[in-house]
Structure 1
Amino acid sequence: MKSIQKYLLLILLVFIGLSCSNNNNEPSPTPQDLSKELTIFHINDSHGSIENFAKIKYIVDQEKKENSVILACAGDIFSGNPVVDNYDPKGYPMIDLMNKVGFDISEIGNHEFDYGETVLEDRLNQAQFSWVCANVNMNTTGIPQPKTYQTITKDNIKVTFLGLVETNGKVDEIIPSTHPWRVQDLTFQKYNDVIGNYSQIKETENPDLYIALTHLGLNTDKYIATNYPYFDIIIGGHSHSVANTTVNNIPIFQAGSNLNYLGKIKLTILDKKIESLQYSLIDLNTYQNEDSSIKEDINNYNNMANLDEIIGYSSAYHNSQQVGYFYTDILKNEMNVDVTFQNTGGIRNSLDQGDITKREIFEIDPFNNGCVTYTMTVSEIKNFLKGSKIAIYYAGIKIEEANNEVIIKNLNDELLNDNTTLTIGLNDYIPAVYDTYFTQTPTYKTYTTAEGIIDYLKNNTTPINYTSYNNYFKFE
């Protein structure tokens, strides 16, 4: 009897042991077995730069052989490279290459609005990746409404991205830093008025990671980490920073600008928390390997652009401020006006000594701003300069500040009466931003500021040299 009992007990112990194993007769997983490996690559503020996409494609494809990968962009993919900005249709090469490289998601940056609503609609529809932005409403424009947040699933890993764009484009309006006339039909909210609506995403969406994909600038990202601490990671843009920092236990990353760098976040995730994180910033200008197919596409876009036509000659190197003097003087002659103004932020590059190409002018002025003229009194010009406190380059007059007042003289150093009327030529971004000082209906030219410069240089062979000029003013 005792032997039967022992036999039954042995059978019971074997049964219990088997039931504790999985269906494959393997041991139950340890916590280490439950961890998930993920690599997130990120860029921001590429501004039309396309040269290094072939390297990104190669790097990402190599990583995919070893790990799950997400490729993200934190905005501002347009405005800065004439190959992209002047392509017909505008911006097409950038989206085409991002599709082929395999981007998963992008935040909408302020310069995504630079081409206007119709082009933005086309580019968003062209994209094969997701767009996110929680503080824009496209209303009835036909532009696809981006998701406020989007969950990307790779293998068994879920990552939710919340998108946010800056809205500091105009003092009296809530719009991004873009041409105000190009976002008239869209509605924006300040990021801090909406971000609290998404504090529970980690619970409702149940992702492994919750990431803020922002285009707000590094200082704002740090503020978010301190005051809205429900993100696992913040990946940012807008300030063109190289950032790898931690605030309030939240890692914050930004990968410079102009596609010079690719950020790489290598993660181990356990129980929906970051168990380990390794960050590296890949210098794409020194990296050697490339995807040949993407490189061929890039070469084709560059060859089609026809930007290396020589249109003038510069007898000296001009820094960006000296370019501003050159710009306003040339436009004064091209537009046939008394005075020209150029906002300092509209000059985006220096000018090398030697031959001047079309490419250089478009790199100096990438925004496709139109040329407009106004008739204004000297008094109205003073009110504009004093009230706006705009930093400008100018031509056609002399401007000084004395005793907290603006002094305007002609080129003969004679004081101009406040009632004197002058014709003013400028890019249409300035009156769009400072519309309280430009209340008339302007006269529109048929060309952009960059096209005006190119036309003048083509028809005038005198070498350019504005290194001795000092036509800068900002009311203090």
Structure 2
Amino acid sequence: MKIDVHHKNSSITRTLITFIILLCHFSNFGQETVVIFAINDPHSEIKNFAKIKPLIDAEKAINSKVYFVAAGDLFSGNPIVDYHENKGYPMIDMLNKTDLDVSVLGNHEFDYGQTILNERIAQANFPFICDNVSGGAGELAAIKGSATITKDNFSIAFIGVVETGSPGGYPLTHPKKIEGLSFTEGLDSFDAYKDIKTTEDVDLIVALTHYGGAKDEDILERNNFVDLVIGGHTNQEYGVPHANGYKVMSGANLDKISKTTLTITNKEITDFEFEIIDLNEANLAVDETLSQDIAAYFDNPTFYTNIGTALSTLSRGSTSCFYTDALQKISGSDMVVQNNGGVRDVIYEGTITPYSIYSIDPFGNGFDTFTMTVPQLRTFLNNYTSGFSYSLDASFAVGKDQNNAFIFFKDGNLLTNSDQVTLSLNDYISNVYPNLFPTAPSYVFPLTTADYLIKYLTDFVTEPIDYEGCYRSKYTLNTATAISETPYKIFPTHIEINSQETSFNGKIFSITGKLLHSSSDTKKIDTQQLSAGVYIFKFSIENGAQFKIQKFIK
């Protein structure tokens, strides 16, 4: 019998190839490669969206399972977006044009108020999610706790929660902006989703949170069915494994975007790769059409008018000195306090513009004055535990007595418990901590704090501002005992110390709080080098344990 060797070898070859194909098929059964791009806390920054689009488009060209998600705080921080005629719309426009798949509500999503937030949600081509909020009207009433998004037969269930770190269990936003809404602890949201991989045939469960890094860790520890947490709020940068899954966060202000590449085998993550991409890198591709759209948003000359000058770039603390002193001048109050979290940017060297001020103070807070008794101001300072900055006014001084209790001086005179003082501050503080204030402010200013900062620069300031090195926080609030007598005399050319103390210190400050001179145990301080103006002299003894402050004119 004749055998066709060639035919026999061909059959063996085909059988072998078929076997190899089947082997590869079964070894990769249920295996998928999924890419998730994520941003968090962009705070109205839109300039880098023109670089985001090419990154995502390039990945989509080679992978059918590419997601783009946001972990909250889309708004508040950039005047171009925050003061647009449709507040916040440029951010929604950019996210629509870069094909965002889903966003969780962050605490600053509420900063514009519920009516405007509803308008922005309606304009979005993507869903907002948040499981631990209820009670809203309009679009907010339709907010769901999760969204399942499927791409090429692969589905991810995104579960959203927002932080509730403000007193009373509310997100950190102005209480007036969330009236009528109810919030629950986000950790309690997840148990309801523990079976959705089977009940809804979901391939992956992702917690998309605006909750903070530590809380994201709690989610993974308590819920072993959550595969991945994509978080925001604390502005960190990481992509790390956990015993029960993985967690990522991507910085803030749209400076960076994260790229998480997952290998999924039978609905489990079997490989995890994480990359932070710096969007400020010059060599990244730019989408020209989107770049032109962004430039059009920034083309608003009213934001760039010259309203002042700064001699140097200030720190956040020095900017707070300027902030509180400006509002003290506007209000005429004894003291102005500003929460540290309410100062969002710094003053930069050179020209100051409305854009600068709205970047520093983006929230549109009101401004109130409270007339208080001495015990009421003492109660406020003792019980307002958040970080704050305060104004410097030579006519009003804060000290402590021998019992470590706050005492107050007006024009050098010790105030009694029956005396009244005035305290001015933004209405966010008084609405979050109403128990620390009288029932109502004695005066409600008609404009916002940012508007009054602009008014201060345009109406009162004629010289460049100079607050370099200034730092006033609750931790530096004077805890010394004020001296009732005046152990010095101020002359046109010098200050003469006539104290009998053997150890003392004399300091001269500019009216803005900048330290100009400091000397110890010097009986005569020359002031001839000072230019004409108003200054503050502080005399202290016993290593600063007792002090006397006086304003003088040169």
Relative to the length of structure 2, the TM-score reads 0.78
Structure 2: distance between partners of 1:339 and 1:143: 39
Deviations 1:175-219 (A, max 9, x none): 101111111111100112322222222222221111011111111
Counterpart-to-counterpart distance in 2, 1:229 and 1:146: 26
Distance 1:147 1:401, change over 3 A: farther
Deviations 1:145-168 (A, max 9, x none): 321111001111100000011101
Give, in angstroms, the shift of residue 305 of structure 1.
6.2
Match of 2:73 among 73, 76, 80: 76
Q: Give secondary structure in 1 for the equivalent of 2:254.
A: coil
1:59-458 equivalences under 5 Å are 59-67=55-63, 68-140=65-137, 143-170=140-167, 173-286=168-281, 287-304=283-300, 306-395=302-391, 396=393, 397-401=396-400, 403-410=403-410, 412-442=411-441, 443-458=443-458
Match of 2:463 in 1: 462
Q: What is the alpha-carbon distance in structure 2 between the residues aligned to residue 269 and residue 308 of structure 1?
A: 50
Rounded to whole Å, the distance in 2 between the matches of 1:388 and 1:330 is 22
| Conserved? CA contact 1:46–1:257, under 8 Å | yes
1:296-351 alpha-carbon deviations (Å, 9 max, x no partner) = 11101111363221101122332111211111111122233332211122112222
CA distance in 1, matches of 2:409, 2:341: 25
Report the counterpart of residue 485 of structure 2 in structure 1: none
- Count of residues paired in the alignment: 452
Q: Which of 1 and 2 has greater Rg?
A: 2
Q: Which secondary structure does the structure 2 equivalent of 1:239 belong to?
A: coil
Asked if the contact 2:71/2:210 (under 8 Å) is kept, the reply is yes
Q: Using a 3 Å threshold, how does the CA distance of structure 1 residues 327 and 391 change in structure 2: closer, same or farther?
A: same
Listed one character per residue, the Cα deviations across residues 356-415 of structure 1 (whole Å, up to 9, x for unaligned) are 1111111111111111222211211111111222332222432234544222223x4432
Counterpart CA distance in 2 for 1:261 and 1:305 is 28
CA contact (8 A) 1:40 1:69 kept: yes
Residues 305, 379 of structure 1: CA spacing in aligned structure 2 closer, same or farther, 3 A cutoff? farther
Gaps of 5+ in 1: 1-16
After superposition, the Cα gap between the structure-2 partners of 1:202 and 1:406, relative to the gap in structure 1 and judged at 3 Å, is: farther
- Which whole-Å CA distance do the structure 1 matches of 2:232 and 2:458 have between them? 38
Instruction: Give the CA deviation at 1:139.
Output: 3.3
Cα distance in 1 for partners of 2:374, 2:97 equals 54
Call closer, same or farther: CA 1:471–1:419 in 2, change over 3 Å. farther
What letter is aligned with 1:409? Answer: F
Deviation at 1:424, TM superposition (A): 2.4
Instruction: Determine helix, strand or coil for the equivalent of 1:329.
Output: helix
Distance 1:305 1:215 in 2: 34
Cα shift at 1:438: 2.0
Residue 392 of structure 1 aligns to which amino acid in structure 2?
F
Quickly say closer, same or farther: Cα 1:162–1:305, change in 2 above 3 A. farther
Q: How has the CA–CA distance of structure 1 residues 382 and 239 changed in structure 2, closer, same or farther, with 3 Å as cutoff?
A: same
Residues 58 and 469 of structure 1, relative CA distance in 2, 3 Å threshold: closer
Sequence identity, in percent? Answer: 37
Question: SS in structure 1 opposite 2:142?
Answer: coil
In 1, the alpha carbon distance for the partners of 2:246 and 2:399 equals 48
**In structure 2, C-alpha distance between the alignment counterparts of 1:248 and 1:466, rounded to whole Å:** 49
Per-residue CA deviation, residues 238-258 of structure 1 (Å, 9 max, x unaligned), is 110001111114111000111
Contact 1:399 1:473 in 2 (8 A): no
Structure 1, 393-402 or 423-432: larger mean CA deviation: 393-402
Cα distance, 1:305–1:166 mapped onto 2, change above 3 Å = farther
Paired residue type of 1:371:
F
**Conservation of the 8 A alpha-carbon contact between 1:138 and 1:145:** no
Counterpart of 1:246, as a letter, is: P
- Secondary structure of residue in 1 paired with 2:262: strand
1:472 partnered with 2:468: no
- Aligned residue in 1 for 2:6: none
Q: CA deviation at 1:142?
A: 5.5
| Shift of residue 472, structure 1, vs aligned partner | 2.7
1:268 Cα deviation (Å)?
2.3
CA distance in 2 between counterparts of 1:117 and 1:45 reads 19
CA distance in 1, matches of 2:301, 2:190: 41
Change in Cα spacing, 1:64 to 1:469, as seen in structure 2 (3 Å) is closer
Distance 2:72 2:360 in 1: 21
**CA spacing shift, 1:164–1:142, aligned 2, 3 Å:** closer
Is the Cα–Cα contact under 8 Å of residues 48 and 85 in structure 1 kept in the other structure? yes
Pick closer, same or farther for the CA change 1:280–1:44 going to 2, 3 Å.
Answer: same
